[in-house]
Amino acid sequence: MANEGGFASAQITYQFDVGVLQGCLLRQGLRKSAGGRFVRPQPVGRAMGLGSSYNRWVNTAHQSLSNALSGSPVDASALWAELQKAAQELGFSQIGVTGVNLAEAEPGLEAWLAAGFHGSMNYMASHGLKRARPAELVPGTVRVITVRMDYLPGNVKSLSAETAWHSLERAQLGVVSVYARGRDYHKVMRGRLQKLQARMAAILGPFGHRVFTDSAPVMEAELAVRSGQGWRGKNTLVLQRDAGSFFFLGELFVDLALPLTEPVSDHCGSCRACMDVCPTQAIVAPYQLDARRCISYLTIEHAGPIPVEFRAAIGNRIYGCDDCQWACPWNKFAKRSVLPDFDARPALNEPELADLLAWDELTFLRMTEGSAIRRIGHARWIRNVALAAGNALAKPSLLSAAQRQALVQALQPWLVHPDLVVQEQVTWSLQQAA
């Protein structure tokens, strides 16, 4: 409005009227029970002549809370129980709350970027320290509600480290990271986070918010750890003692000063299984990942040719990599998803590489509709599948003669692909058969 009026900027200041706040039953109730602060952080005050708006919000919120909680004295633990119930009904396994001061994480982020470990993910650097400053990303934010959602597909009977290692030895098959075998988690998480916000608003009245799930410059793992969703493992993923690491994270930035939840302690101990198992030695030190070496980065984020030094190690992984998760002892406790959204699609659950090479672009778009895989596009998909086919051809003992012939025949048409990256990859892969 200020800009439209020709002003360069506008600022708002306010002054609390202690009497009004003390009269706010909502705040009193919360204080009484849990010692938490639960106040609207940026009410527009009387200086702007808008005091009545703020008071209206307080009254509405109090009225809705009273109604929702059957007229009993409103307290933080009752509200928290309501939120947990709503979260569980929406398929989340856990919710937490953390503040917005991530200053301690900033030097680590800066060092990681300075080392170039983010590779070509320029978006990681382009937002600078906004990533570590939620209140700069969404002005007015004072708390971040974090959620996690288990994703192991419910429709795959045998799912364990043993079956995962076995799949990696079946060279004629493609292995897609487990999280990507079902529906795009961005869509699922976003929709459910919005429903969680709506459930909160039904109790508290309208409040400032924004939903994130791996969709903006947000330090998701850092926020999750601070809010008690787990600890950061040496593989850099968030781990829970009773749920391992096969879960998605999401965030709801809010302008409500909710009470905080407590972090948990680190339980990696002397273990280094994830570091030892990594096929490309991407975990260069405990808690430090060089994304440029990571198969998830190379097969999903990286657009150019996959460096030759990593090709053999990628094996038959065609989209992402789960090795450092399967190797982690805590993933014995990983949970299946309660949602059918993450059920594995048959075409993405250990497909034959020769079948995947038969997908033209239209088929690719049809088969990956609603899937996260669609984001990488057909050319990068064919690049990945061709690489896995080349690795299979390099190990004749793992293929029957018919499988070998099928792979060579399936690769040949892509030699004339308009994308030079695909052409080069297919040429390399066919050379492995020689």
- Token pair 């398929």 is found at 91
CB-based burial, 4-27: b 16+ in 10 Å, e otherwise: eeeeeeeeeeeeeeeeeeeebbbb
182 or 315: whose CB is closer to ligand SF4?
A: 315
CB of 204 to ligand SF4, least distance (A): 37
> 175-176 and 317-319: which strand pairing?
parallel
108 or 329: whose CB is closer to ligand SF4?
A: 329
Q: Is 283 in the site for ligand SF4 (CB under 6 A)?
A: yes
Where does this chain touch ligand SF4 (CB under 6 A) — which range of 18-26, 29-37, 107-115, 281-289?
281-289
Q: Is 324 in the site for ligand SF4 (CB under 6 A)?
A: yes
Q: Is 218 in the site for ligand SF4 (CB under 6 A)?
A: no
The first and second tokens of residue 64, run together, are 């809705």
Where does this chain touch ligand SF4 (CB under 6 A) — which range of 42-50, 77-85, 215-223, 280-288?
280-288
Q: Which of 146, 172, 197, 280 binds ligand SF4 (CB under 6 A)?
A: 280
Q: Is 335 in the site for ligand SF4 (CB under 6 A)?
A: no
30 or 239: whose CB is closer to ligand SF4?
A: 239
CB of 196 to ligand SF4, least distance (A): 28
First to last CA, the chain: 69
Where does this chain touch ligand SF4 (CB under 6 A) — which range of 106-114, 156-164, 182-190, 316-324?
316-324
**Minimal CB distance to ligand SF4: which residue?**
233
Contact map string, positions 224 to 243, toward ligand SF4, x by CB under 6 A: ---------xxx---x----
Which residues are tagged catalytic? 214
Q: Is 178 in the site for ligand SF4 (CB under 6 A)?
A: no
The first and second tokens of residue 250, run together, are 């999401």
- Token pair 């018919």 is found at 402
The first and second tokens of residue 122, run together, are 């320029």
Q: Is 327 in the site for ligand SF4 (CB under 6 A)?
A: yes
The span from the CA of 65 to the CA of 381, in Å, is 50
The first and second tokens of residue 304, run together, are 């150019």
The first and second tokens of residue 22, run together, are 């003390």
141 or 299: whose CB is closer to ligand SF4?
A: 299
Q: Is 321 in the site for ligand SF4 (CB under 6 A)?
A: yes
Burial of 377 (0-12, 13-18, 19+ CB in 10 A): middle
275 or 382: whose CB is closer to ligand SF4?
A: 275
Q: For the beta carbon of residue 169, count every other beta carbon within 10 angstroms.
A: 11
The span from the CA of 43 to the CA of 66, in Å, is 21
Q: Are 396 and 371 in contact (CB under 8 A)?
A: no
296 or 403: whose CB is closer to ligand SF4?
A: 296
AA identity, residue 264: V
- Token pair 């088969």 is found at 367
Q: Is 274 in the site for ligand SF4 (CB under 6 A)?
A: yes
The span from the CA of 432 to the CA of 269, in Å, is 42
Q: Is 125 in the site for ligand SF4 (CB under 6 A)?
A: no
Residues that bind ligand SF4 (CB under 6 A): 233-235, 239, 268, 271-274, 278-280, 282-283, 289, 294-296, 321, 323-324, 327-330
